[in-house]
């Protein structure tokens, strides 16, 4: 392949950072994300085994959606025995837990946090409001389907799910990771334009520069 062909491909892959000063453009990626393939068979099995036992948690709770996450950190349930540890920032986390309703105001924070997470990354939808809108399903200010905006690996139903249900959900996530069935990160990349179309239908005032907006 000639250099001019490579330059043409790179040009088509570029994403515009419209409105940003030149000095700020280097702070944000302007290239579409790409999929990540598995390693060789046996190495991938080992790596998935390790990933399943080291879940670094980023919690995004809205109101009562975060209520049952706290007991997991107490000695009664002790989530650390399952290899689960809370982290303060998206870039340090591998599991994104969204609990409670997602409003139009907060969905852009959810999307931004998800996109800042490094791969591999997994998503848990916690509670009825997150899964299908729950009691707010017909509200003008909430979304009904989180998986229209970011991919979801495990759903934990209930209003609100008890800590035991959360642990069951984490165990299910661990099973799926170890089996190599959690591929939401690549699904997001493969259906990138579809997810972005859905996001833009809801988010009208995206006032933060972003690498793929």
CATH number of the domain within which 179 lies: 3.40.50.12280
> What residue numbers bound the domain in which 196 lies?
41-202
Tokens of 46: 């080992």
18 domain-assigned: no
Q: Does the residue 85 lie in any domain?
A: yes
In a domain, 140, yes or no: yes
Q: Is there a domain that residue 207 lies in?
A: no
Q: Is 31 inside a domain boundary?
A: no
Contact 150, 110 (CB under 8 A): yes
Number of domains making up the chain: 1
Q: Indicate the pTM of the whole model.
A: 0.82
Confidence at residue 173, expressed as pLDDT on a 0 to 100 scale: 93
Kindly state whether residue 195 falls inside one of the protein's structural domains.
Answer: yes
Does 70 fall in a domain? yes
Q: pLDDT for 107-161, tens place per residue?
A: 888 988 898 898 899 999 988 888 888 888 888 888 888 999 999 999 988 888 8
Residue 16 lies in a domain: no
DSSP 129-182: HHHH-GGGTT-TTB-S-GGGTS--SEEE-SSSPPHHHHHHHHHHHHHHHHTT--
């Amino acid at each position: 392949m000639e250099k001019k062909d490579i330059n043409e491909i790179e040009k088509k892959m570029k994403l515009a950072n419209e409105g940003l000063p030149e000095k700020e453009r280097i702070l944000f990626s302007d290239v579409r994300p790409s999929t990540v393939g598995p390693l060789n068979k046996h190495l991938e099995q080992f790596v998935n085994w390790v990933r399943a036992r080291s879940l670094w948690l980023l919690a995004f709770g809205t109101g009562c959606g975060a209520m049952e996450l706290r007991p997991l950190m107490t000695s009664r349930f002790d989530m650390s025995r399952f290899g689960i540890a809370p982290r303060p920032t998206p870039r340090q986390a591998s599991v994104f837990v969204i609990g409670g309703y997602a409003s139009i105001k907060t969905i852009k924070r959810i999307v931004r946090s998800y996109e800042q997470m490094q791969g591999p990354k997994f998503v848990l939808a916690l509670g009825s409001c997150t899964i299908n809108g729950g009691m707010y399903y017909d509200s003008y200010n909430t979304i009904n389907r989180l998986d229209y905006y970011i991919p979801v690996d495990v759903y934990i139903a209930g209003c609100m799910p008890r800590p035991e249900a959360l642990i069951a959900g984490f165990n299910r996530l661990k099973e799926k990771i170890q089996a190599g069935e959690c591929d939401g990160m690549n699904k997001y990349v493969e259906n990138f334009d579809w997810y972005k179309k859905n996001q833009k239908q809801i988010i009208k005032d995206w006032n933060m520069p972003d690498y793929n907006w």
